[in-house]
Structure 1
Amino acid sequence: MKKTTIRPAVCSIMALALGGSLLAGCGGNSGAEEPTAGSPSPAGAAASPQTSVKASDKPLSLSVHLMFDGNVFNESWAVFKRAAELTNVSLKATLPKTVTDRKEAFNMMMASGEISDIVMSTKANMDKFGQEGAFVPLNDLIDKHAPNIKAFLAKRPDVRSVGTAADGKMYFLPFAPDGEAASGWFIRQDWLDKLGLSSPKTVDDYYKVLKEFKEKDPNGNGQPDEIPFFSRSASGVYELLSLWAADQGYALKDNKIVYGPLEPEYKEGIASVAKWYKEGLIDKEIFTRGTKARDILLGNNTGGSNHDWFASNASFNDTLKDKITGFKFLPIAPPANSKGKIVEPTARAVVKSDGWGISASNKHPVETIKFFDFWYTEEGRRMANFGVEGLTYTMVDGKPKFTDEILQGGQVTQNLYKYGAQIQFSFHQDFEYERQYLNSIADKGISEYINNKYIRQQIPILAYTTEEEKKLGNMEASINTYTSEMGQKWILGAQPLEATYDAYVSKLKTLGIEEVLKIKNEAYQRYLKQ
């Protein structure tokens, strides 16, 4: 690595964040030659579709700062070793395998000035330090030397928009997931059958079903121990708000970003959730039970319904079929809300805020962007998704099929990590990798939600200026904390909603919610224009 000259503002910020002991890395290097951002190496004009995946004529080693989901880049990963054989570019790790804090590791690198050739981080980090001169704008490099990325971005302007900073330049390539449906509504179909009930179609139907679950002993043990609605997340209770067309956070409404707790539907929604909680239809320990709530309540045959991820929810039909006679935990369409609309509020991110970019000290920007481009070829995408043929998958009828080793234990993604596949640096994910380990129940539920267009439009990842980031950071933490505290108090009955709601709205405005919405909507308009 070469020490990169970063503008003084970066050093000042990092000094405040990390303390004076790290300032030495930001000191007097102003005489060093700084690479021209975005200047390609001498390699000709615009690129044509690749006939070779070689990114470098000679073997080239580039340093990489990469950590994802607790996994630090490992030079022995089979996927990247095979990629090196094909592209002539190998990567050298700069993070020790003992690193556990991704945010701290990035901050330490930036404060030291010793920036790796390739850096994987978040959009906020890459945009911020890119505009300070630490990372190379990728626009010209992609246009001239990365035909596969260029073609992909032409088809997916949303990915380009997320990769673009507030100054109009791309400092990183984001990861592009595949698949749309994330979570869905599930219910104990065997309990419905036992009580002679139909699957709920409306919010009123759902309320009546939960009441029956509470009062009619569907698990048949003679005890009033059924918990009609549960969640493994303390925030899961707020997903019920969608039944009243309300939200606990930000949402798109009439092509504008709004804050759910300020919208007229919120008051009715939170009041209704509080009523359900008081009547025992919601787990009394929903704020404290923890992440094992689903395992516990389904495992002991007391949980009736939830809203959670399709794949993991559906898997309980396999793990509990021999333990609970007749166990059926099946997805249902979202109950129509109080306005008569069938809406699923959650969705998978179509673009992630994670990705990688090229440091300003990288002496081989053209070769690096060509290496990035490899992952958008057919072979590169297959490797990033499925691993190495003969090792993690075999080709069957022209499609990759995972080996038994990868499929074992139901930990497919974790098993792939060991080979360097599904590490979300920057490539286009293929949902077929996940479909291989979905059971038929999850697959059917996902298809139903997608085909029936239940999933509403999501707020994209937005780019903010440095000043906007600073303002949001100062205001949003307080707003989110206050909203969460008050929501919990109302649901638990610790505060009367009617008597405190107007003061709550006033307090949100005092905390700056109107300024936050102004900033977000200005950023959203920039996104739409890109």
Structure 2
Amino acid sequence: MKQQVWKKGVGAALTLVVALSAAGCGKDAKEAVPSSAPNQGTEKGKPVELTMHMHYGDRYIYDNNFPVFKEAAKRTNVTLKGTASQTATNSKEMFNLMMVSGDIPDIVHYNVKGDFNKYGSEGAFAPLNELIDKHAPNIKAFLEQRPDVKKFATAPDGKMYFLSFVPDGLVAKGWFIRQDWLKALNMQQPKTVDELYQVLKAFKEKDPNKNGKADEIPYFNRVNKGGAQDLLLFWNSYRGIYADQGKVKYGPYEANYETAVANIAKWYKEGLIDPEIFTRGAKAREVLLGDNVGGVSHDWFSSTAGYNDTLKDKVPGILFAPMAPPASSDGVVREETKRATVSESGWAISASNKHQVETIKYFDFWFTPEGRRLMNFGIEGVHYDLVDGKPKFKDSLLTGSKPVNEALQADGAQMEVGFHQDFAYEEQWTNKTALAGVKEYNEKKYPIEQFPVLTFTDGEKKKLDSIMKSIQTFTDEKFQKWVLGSEPVAGNFEKFRQQLKEMGLDEVISIQQAAYDRYMK
């Protein structure tokens, strides 16, 4: 493919319109940089103002008044000026329009590595490899420590066009159960899927909330589309693309999927699953726990355990506690979620940026100990105090009206730019119930390895986009029909598999396998 020449102006915009149309538009608090790494401090250069696009959902929109970035400007002499509208709502559309226009700011933040690689290889973004080698010793040292991060961000042409946000910690979600209900019924935490079934039946039939009504909802989940799918793994089935001993598969096509869906449908018919599992939405925890009717769920540790604190007066004695994942039908204890070791979110330097050296040095600041601390914990004296050399959040932050992570993001900290997160920031606002669950899931290694985010060629991506969207919609619709009982899975599964093949599943698997093999090599 001929390399696209990127510049401001109508010519570039028209070329890109055509192109886009064709595309279908738990660790300790160690510092990331070893003490022997060069440039541990911050070298201030001449004052520079750089423009930046950052619009990612409703929490990651750059504000020129972010206190954390103003503090960084004092230490680096680099000031960022946001270009994304604070009132716009569609991040992907904004990114696409920006790229079509050819008028690209100095720094671009986004969350799709395939787009970073695509537009980088076409000339829109500057390759970072040489810039890092020459001018960013802290990033260079970090990438030497974490070759997985460099591998993840390297495009098929061997160049890095963006610097990733690197999360910290291992576990993401876990299983929660009303321990107070178990105690009321003189039952133990379920160790297997069959025991879980018996516990859910008891929650449904034996009035554990002691209000004389059959109003308990044994299993609930706040994710409409995926909440019921969280149960699939109990029958060793997967909801999407995964790898089995190096072979790429699509979970709903495999034989175990029929068994899993049949059992989930049985549980639903017996009233063990929230009748509004596909529609209740984000307030499910708040509503069902608050009404003292929710029994079991699968969700994030910190926020879910927090309901024990916020509802203690409304629901006296509530103990919604983490439990080990019940063993699946094959006898294996596993948790399907795991925090990503590296994220698609990050930032890139535009090829038109006239201050690329100053920009990479600015990126490097966030990998120094002081820069990493600033992005993780905010500003000393405002958000935290140093106690025995470690940041300790102020009580005003820990007890404020907003969750700590949202309060920090409101001031510009914990933004998903290129930096290395520190799980110690989360530990401080996570209650003991959640921390106990995190510790168990970590120590016993319940989370399974995640299927990697792969890099595809333009041709592969076009094929996947054209085929996989319809396959996913078809699969989701069938799953919902089968679970709700509007169509039996028995007698219809082979027809479903044949329809997947007719829709192009074999080609999807072939493309995914080729990309997976490239990644593993």
Give the Cα separation in 2 of the matches to 1:223 and 1:440. Answer: 32
1:478 and 2:470 are equivalent in the alignment? yes
Query: Does the CA-based 8 Å contact 1:15-1:111 persist in structure 2?
Result: no
Shift of 1:479: 0.8
User: Which of 144, 147, 161 does residue 157 from structure 1 map onto?
Assistant: 147
Q: 2:405 touches 2:414 (CA, 8 Å); kept in 1? A: yes
Distance 1:399 1:523, change over 3 A: same
Report whether the alignment pairs 1:200 with 2:205: no
Specify the alignment match of 1:322 in structure 2.
Answer: 313
AA matched with 2:481: K
CA deviation after TM superposition for structure 1 residue 514, in Å: 1.7
For the Cα contact (< 8 Å) 2:184–2:208, is it kept in 1?
Answer: yes
> Superposition pairs for residues 334-373 of structure 1, below 5 Å?
334-373=325-364
Conserved? CA contact 1:394–1:403, under 8 Å? yes
Structure 1 residue 264 displacement after superposition:
2.4
Q: Is the 1:89–1:371 contact (alpha carbons within 8 Å) kept by the matching residues of 2?
A: yes
- Name the Cα RMSD after superposition: 2.0
Separation in structure 2 between the aligned mates of residue 252 and residue 435 of structure 1, nearest angstrom: 32
Q: Structure 1 residue 238 and structure 2 residue 243: aligned?
A: no
Give the whole-Å Cα distance in 1 for the aligned partners of 2:279 and 2:61: 32
Q: Residue type of the partner of 2:120?
A: G
Instruction: Quote the residue 1:66 is aligned against.
Output: 54
Distance 2:20 2:210 in 1: 61
Equivalence for 1:33: none
1:426 aligns with 2:418: yes
Q: Which ranges in structure 1 are unaligned for 5 or more consecutive residues? A: 20-47
| 1:400 counterpart SS class | strand
Aligned-partner Cα distance in 2 for 1:418–1:268? 46
Q: Which amino acid aligns with 1:451?
A: E
Contact 2:325 2:333 in 1 (8 A): yes
Q: SS where residue 3 of structure 1 aligns? A: coil
Q: CA deviation at 1:51?
A: 5.1
- Is residue 500 of structure 1 aligned with residue 488 of structure 2? no
Pick from 410, 429, 451 the counterpart of residue 437 of structure 1: 429
Query: Greater CA deviation, 74-83 or 457-466?
Result: 74-83
Among 166, 169, 173, the residue aligned to 1:176: 166
**Match for 2:18: what amino acid?**
S
**Could you list the per-position Cα deviations for residues 153-202 of structure 1 after superposition, in whole angstroms to 9, with x for gaps in the alignment?**
12222211221122221111111111111111111111111111111001
Counterpart of 1:509? 501
Q: CA deviation at 1:69?
A: 3.5
Per the TM alignment, residue 2 of structure 1 is displaced from its structure 2 partner at its CA by 7.1
Q: Contact 2:13–2:100 (CA<8 Å) still a contact in 1?
A: no
1-side partners of 2:424 and 2:416: how far apart?
A: 16
Question: 1:390 Cα shift?
Answer: 1.1
Deviation at 1:124, TM superposition (A): 2.3
Assess, with a 3 A threshold, how the Cα gap between structure 1 residues 524 and 517 changes in structure 2: closer, same or farther.
same
Aligned partner letter, 2:510: K
Measured against aligned partners, the alpha-carbon deviations of 1:274-308 in whole angstroms (never above 9, x if no partner) come to 11111111111111222212211111111111111
Q: Give the Cα separation in 1 of the matches to 2:22 and 2:376.
A: 39
The within-5 A match list for 1:44-123 is 49-50=38-39, 52-54=41-43, 57-70=45-58, 71-122=60-111, 123=113
**Distance in 2, Cα, partners of 1:452 & 1:409:** 35
Moved more, 253-262 or 126-135: 253-262
Give 3-state SS (helix, strand or coil) of 2:144's partner: helix
Please show how residues 274-353 of structure 1 align to structure 2 within 5 Å: 274-353=265-344
**8 Å contact 1:14–1:110 — kept in the other structure?**
no
TM superposition score normalised by structure 1:
0.91
SS in 2 for 1:120: strand
- The structure-2 alpha-carbon separation of the partners of 1:7 and 1:72, relative to structure 1 and needing over 3 Å to count, comes to closer
Is contact 1:164–1:463 with CA below 8 Å preserved after alignment? no
Note the alpha carbon deviations across 1:424-461, whole angstroms, 9 max, x for none.
11101111111111000011101110110000000122
**Number of paired residues?**
501
* TM-score for the superposition, normalised by structure 2: 0.92
CA deviation after TM superposition for structure 1 residue 17, in Å: 8.6
Task: Tell me which residue corresponds to 2:28.
Answer: none
Letter in 2 for 1:471: K
- C-alpha distance in 1, partners of 2:104/2:374? 27
Gap runs ≥5 in structure 2:
1-5, 26-36
1:204 Cα deviation after fit: 0.8
2:373 and 2:248 map into 1 onto residues whose CA distance is 37
Match of residue 128 from structure 2 = 138
Percent identity, aligned pairs only?
A: 52
Secondary structure, counterpart of 2:449 in structure 1: coil
Q: Please tell me the residue identity of whatever aligns with 1:345.
A: E
Q: What amino acid sits opposite 2:337 in the alignment?
A: T
The amino acid of 1:173's aligned partner reads: L
In the alignment, which residue of structure 2 is the partner of 1:218? 208
Report the equivalent of 2:8: 3
State the match for 1:23 in structure 2. Answer: none
- Per the alignment, residue 262 of structure 2 pairs with 271
Cα distance between partner residues in 2 of 1:16 and 1:462 = 21
Deviation at 1:145, TM superposition (A): 1.7
Partner of residue 30, structure 1 = none
Answer with 150-159 or 129-138: which moved more.
150-159
* Residue in 2 that maps onto 1:464: 456
